[in-house]
Amino acid sequence: MATRTDSPRRILRGQPAMAQSLDPVVQETLRLWRKHHLGYDQTKYVVERVRRRLALEPPRTRTRTVARLDRSEVERLIHATYRSQSTYGLMIKTLFQTGTRVDEFVHLRVADLFLDGDPPQIHITHAKRHADRYVPILSALADELRTHLRGRQTGFVFESNRHTRYATRTVQAIVTACARAAGIVKRVYPHLLRHSIATILLDSGVVPIDQVQKFLGHLHLSTTQIYAETSVRALGDNYNRALGGSGSRGQAGATS
């Protein structure tokens, strides 16, 4: 029998019977959340509070591998999406190159963009556990964002037809549908793009793990270590070189 310190992932991995037995709990939770009209952020808050009250802790050991797209798959996804819907292509490229969580991404405002910097940067303000941070972006992406905004200086970077921010579920659906259209057989979702940029930066051999930690907004280095067991070498210019640019004003490579 699972102890109180076992995480749900550990309980359910490879145990379909256990997962099925939790269906009544899922249904009851669904009923309560619908009754109280909880949104995305509110449900996250409730889950975290319940975990704390039950003193639930993650397992001491974690899997050392994560799902990811390799660079060629990322390129295929971005290029195919640009051909069919350029705005979605820019959204997916921005998700990937910034390593943002989907909830951080949909809250990006025009005021958070510092496109004339060296290198250009984006201020992630709606960060998990208030871990606000600045992330560098390639100059080519900065130019595309300028074109996308067409001089607009207020509002969200990516807006719906109603000039409101995208819902996280909408962005998730867009990424999944675009990956399917690109012929990628893996299950693709926004957080997979975050996994992918993290591993690509580390695999490049030029961005050290502590810089990747800051880039991702992880509070603890141990969280970042899931992407790599060894450290390598400075964000800014190294980020550009890792993604195919040349220096802080480098142009984007295949994924630009």
Active site residue 128: yes
Of these residues, 101, 107, 126, 195, which one is catalytic? 101
Of these residues, 51, 76, 79, 128, which one is catalytic? 128
Of these residues, 76, 123, 146, 191, which one is catalytic? 191
Active site residue 227: yes
Active site residue 194: yes
- The pair of three-digit structure tokens given for residue 231, joined into one six-digit string: 């450290």
DSSP 148-191: HHTT--SSBSSB-TTSSBPPHHHHHHHHHHHHHHTT--S---HH
Active site residue 218: yes
DSSP-assigned letter for residue 124? E
Of these residues, 107, 166, 218, 239, which one is catalytic? 218
Of these residues, 93, 107, 194, 195, which one is catalytic? 194
Q: Return the sign of the alpha-carbon dihedral for residues 234, 68, 255, 132.
A: negative
In the three-class reduction of DSSP (H, G, I as helix; E, B as strand; rest coil), residue 136 is classed as: strand
Query: Which residues have a Cβ under 8 Å from the Cβ of 3 and sit 6 or more positions away?
Result: none
Query: Which residues have a Cβ under 8 Å from the Cβ of 98 and sit 6 or more positions away?
Result: 105, 122, 124, 135, 137, 197
Of these residues, 88, 107, 195, 227, which one is catalytic? 227
Residues classed as catalytic: 101, 128, 191, 194, 218, 227
